[in-house]
Amino acid sequence: MKRKEQQCPAEMTLDIIGGRWKVLILWQLFQGERRFSELFRALQGITQKMLTQQLRELERDGIVHRQVYPQIPPKVEYSLTPLGDSLRPVIDAMCEWGLKHRGDTRTQAVHQCLFTDSKR
């Protein structure tokens, strides 16, 4: 099946980070390296199958790096690539927009969503 030509550059971004879980996965990884089990516990409602699928897609797109350590039991850590980290201001802007239009100015909501604390 031939894919239609993208008209808007934002469509490419949505192709990479769109969906229910990818932005939430990125938010976790903006905080630092995470093991699969840490991501799974942090993302309430996601299944292991869906988390695996989303991480594979992010890895395929060059957003996430998967580091496998040769030990028993196996240890795998996920982190952002420089390309993945470059999405920080995009997601920051999404959070700011959501807070502004939701009308929520509670401090906790700001700290939960914005990444400015971790990049300054």
- The span from the CA of 100 to the CA of 102, in Å, is 6
Structure-block tokens of residue 16: 């990479």
Listed residue (27, 74, 20) closest to 47, CA to CA? 20
**pLDDT tens-digit readout, 21-80:** 999 999 999 999 999 999 999 999 999 999 999 999 999 999 999 999 988 888 999 999
Tell me, letter by letter, the H, E, C secondary structure of 62-116.
CCEEEEEECCCCCEEEEEECHHHHCCHHHHHHHHHHHHHHHCCCCHHHHHHHCCH
Domains of the chain (ranges, CATH numbers) = 1-85 (1.10.10.10), 87-120 (no CATH)
